[in-house]
Amino acid sequence: MTNLINFQDGKFDSYSLTLEDNLVKIDCYLLGSITGGTGTECGHTIEGPKIKDFLTAIGSDTITELREKVKNYEASEWQKIHQVIQNFQTDSWSWSETNWDD
């Protein structure tokens, strides 16, 4: 069972969060790029024992509890969960758009 929660902040930043007992995964599309382009895409995954450490750091006892909290998150809380997931990630990827105008 996949428990995907989506959030879009304004017109650009968007997050998709999967919360399962054995998997925490966030995929993001964010405004700005280190290479001068429009945006950056990234994904971060937590699996295994690090999920418990992540839950402690985010202030939830269970995935179910966090799932209910996230449904009411505002933009700043999505930014925070993105950062906390990165702190405990077991896998990640990132892609930055490039500005080719030069």
Q: List the end-to-end C-alpha distance of the chain, in Å, as a whole number.
A: 46
Contacts of 27 (CB under 8 A, 6+ apart): 15, 16, 41, 42, 43
CA distances from 19 to 5, 50, 61, 101 (A): 8, 14, 13, 40
**pTM assigned to the model:** 0.88
Q: Mean pLDDT across the stretch 74-90?
A: 96
For residue 35, pLDDT beyond 80: no
pLDDT at 102 exceeding the cut of 70: no
* pLDDT at residue 38, as a whole number: 79
Q: In whole angstroms, what is the distance from residue 11 CA to residue 78 CA?
A: 15
